[in-house]
Amino acid sequence: MKTWIRWAVINGLPGVVLRAQARRGNPLAQYLTDPAAREDPYPFGDRIRARGRLVAIPYSYVTADYELCRTVLRHKDFGVTPPEAFTVFKPVQRLIKATDLKIASPVEPPAMLMVDPPVHTRYRKLVAQAFTPRAVARLRDRISEVTTDLLDDLAQHENADLIEQFALLLPIAIISEILGIPAEKRDDLLDAGHAGSPLLDIGISWKTFRTANDALREAQDYLVEHIAELRANPGDNILSDLATGGELTDTELLYSAALIAGAGFETTVNLIGNGIMALHQHPEQLDLLRAEPARWPGAVEEILRYDSPVQMTARTALRDIEIAGVRIAKGEMVALLLGCANRDPKMFDNPNVFDVTRANAREHLSFSSGVHACLGASLARMEGAVALQALYDRFPNLRVADAPQRRGLLNLRGFQHIPVSTGVGARVAAG
């Protein structure tokens, strides 16, 4: 009953309200509820920008303006938005707090994503050691080794699914090693991450909510055991350092582990999958990359800009503030459509064109900005560049063989399946 009540106040009731608001022309509600946004969110961003830089809607604001999104993300007077902030009704807020399921979710406090400085500063300082440029550079050889092994396996198949057999497996292998999680537990981590991903959307079904929380609870039970084992027998990994350092409480440590585990592969899977489809749809860009392979890192930035793995976030005013000529009261929320902001023509020329030579592609907001900028951005960039270049070098005749299937999520934008022909059979026959 407690789980159902929590779903009802976080998703069920907001879903009803959003659908009603969408019918009344609320642009954010239309974006959040229209199935077309899951296929192509970017026209919704164009419509919102046409209404102004900062659009007032009931109880909050929304923007798809690049400069304004970046300003809010970096502004000290805006903080993260916990679940209870999505309603202005105090009784509902109290009910949300009263139905805390005590599950280590990466999208609820005290996860690092959902706390502000100075608490966030303390978490980030401890976790950042695993993602410094030097630490990430040391992982390059391992990323290349795992990529080669996966491509060796793909070479045994004329037909394959590049999500299940490649894009998923590379980042989960790397983040598992960073956390000291053994190979035999990776599938469980994958299942938990996939099941928990819909929690970043608003208005999800009761069945999806229950499944997500059941999966996160199972993952939490494992992480508690895993952390205890690392305390007794530490290894060379970030979770061992955090577990034995004594600077995080047990709850903080558990939530940090859940966040690193989930964020460490979900967005990278989407980056690789979205990149495969962008290159499939723009073969002339792939030809350019084959002719000039030094452009691959820049291509990854353009993939991130063109089809962001994370589409939106929100910030709440910590005090009364005026921004873009609008007075925002303390406690009011601003929804930031990051993926749509990456298509803002005031920032990016011809923003709907996929161009791997784009000079300012790296200015995208796909890794957020400010104090909450993604810690694993350097790792994701490296994994994306290594994986995509190696894939197309190894399989020059690779082609998408059937209709790809999207995940059906709004915020974490990516693919569930990308069926391909590797071209292996043709090459063998020719040989």
Average pLDDT over residues 240-269: 87
The alpha carbon of 250 is separated from its chain's Cα centroid by a whole number of angstroms, namely: 25
By C-alpha distance, which of 71, 67, 29 is closest to 47?
29
Distance of alpha carbon 147 from alpha carbon 348, whole angstroms: 32
Burial class for 232, CB neighbours closer than 10 Å (0-12, 13-18, 19+)? exposed
Report the mean per-residue pLDDT for the chain. Answer: 91
The full length of the chain comes to 431
Q: Is the four-CA dihedral 339, 360, 415, 367 of positive or negative sign?
A: negative
The owner of tokens 């790397």 is 174
Q: Over the stretch 273-287, which tens digit does the pLDDT of each residue have? A: 999 999 999 999 999
Q: Token match 């990994």: residue?
A: 237
Cα three-residue angle 386-150-268, rounded to 5 degrees: 50
Predicted confidence (pLDDT) per residue in 7-41, tens digit: 988 889 889 989 999 999 999 999 999 999 999 99
Q: How confident is the model at residue 405 (pLDDT cuts 50, 70, 90)?
A: very high
Amino acid, single-letter form, for residue 418: I
Phi and psi angles of residue 335, each rounded to the nearest 5 degrees, phi first: -85, 130
258 band by pLDDT with thresholds 50, 70 and 90: confident
pLDDT of residue 431: 41
The pLDDT-based confidence of 88 (bands split at 50, 70, 90) is low
CATH number of the domain encompassing residue 256: 1.10.630.10
pLDDT greater than 60 at residue 426: no
- Write phi, then psi, for 406 (nearest 5 degrees): -75, 165
Nearest to 387 by CA among 309, 288, 276, 304: 276
pLDDT score for 90: 62
Query: Which is nearest to 195 in space by CA: 187, 227, 203, 179?
Result: 187
Q: Provide the pLDDT confidence category of residue 105 given band limits of 50, 70 and 90.
A: confident
* Cα distance between residue 29 and residue 20, in whole Å: 8
CB 245 within 8 A of CB 42: no
Backbone angles phi, psi at 417, to 5 degrees: -145, 140
The number of folded domains in the chain is 1
- DSSP string for 111-153: SGGG--TTHHHHHHHHHGGGGSHHHHHHTHHHHHHHHHHHHHH
> 178: which residues sit within 8 A by CB, 6+ positions away?
130, 237, 238, 239, 260, 264
Q: How confident is the model at residue 427 (pLDDT cuts 50, 70, 90)?
A: very low
For residue 425, the model assigns a pLDDT of: 64
What type of residue sits at position 394?
A: R
Range of the domain at 65: 2-430
pLDDT band per the 50, 70, 90 thresholds, residue 65: very high
**What pLDDT does residue 83 have?**
63
**Which region, left, alpha or beta, applies to residue 368 given φ > 0 means left and ψ of -120 to 50 means alpha?**
left
Cβ-proximal residues to 338 (8 Å cutoff; 6+ apart), any chain: 69, 308, 310, 311, 312, 313, 365, 366, 368
Cis amide linkage into residue 133, ω under 30° from 0 = no
Give the rounded distance of the alpha carbon of 185 from its chain centre: 22
In angstroms, the CA 231 to CA 3 distance is 32
pTM (two decimals)? 0.94
* pLDDT of 314 strictly over 90: yes
- Is residue 159 scored above 50 in pLDDT? yes
Query: Measured between alpha carbons, how far is 293 from 296 in angstroms, rounded to an integer?
Result: 6
Residue 417, CB half-sphere, CA atoms under 13 Å: how many?
10
Paired residues of 335 in beta bridges: 62, 314
Confidence check: pLDDT of 428 > 90: no
Nearest to 364 by CA among 300, 299, 312, 305: 305
Write the CA distances from 331 to 79, 201, 334, 384, integer angstroms. Answer: 10, 21, 10, 38
Q: How far apart are CA 260 and CA 178, in angstroms?
A: 9
Taking only the tens place, the pLDDT of each residue in 201-223 is 989 999 999 999 999 999 999 99
Q: How many helices (H) and strands (E) does the chain have?
A: 21, 12
